[in-house]
Amino acid sequence: MNRDQLISEVKEEYARIASSESRQLDDQSTAKMTPEAYYEMMLSNAISEISNGTFDHFNSGKEIVTAIANDKHWLSNLQ
């Protein structure tokens, strides 16, 4: 799949997840980072890795987001 398409799909997936988690966030939460900020950081790192070819063998953005969720080592900036 082409990298621009993967980036677009990853953006959509992280936006969907962040939106869902924001609605569930309790007003009394003491979270250090909002879901939007967290997923924006993850998106930025994922885009960097996609651009570098890390995910060239993946078929969809959802596969990439799932892989990252299961193993943060996919993102070299977080290691």
4-48 pLDDT, tens per residue? 999 999 999 999 998 888 766 555 455 577 888 889 999 999 999
pLDDT in tens, 47-62: 999 999 999 999 999 9
Q: pTM of this prediction?
A: 0.81
Cβ atoms 6, 59 nearer than 8 A: no
- The structure tokens listed for 4 are 């621009």
Q: For residue 78, with 0-12 CB atoms within 10 Å meaning exposed, 13-18 middle and 19 or more buried, which class applies?
A: exposed
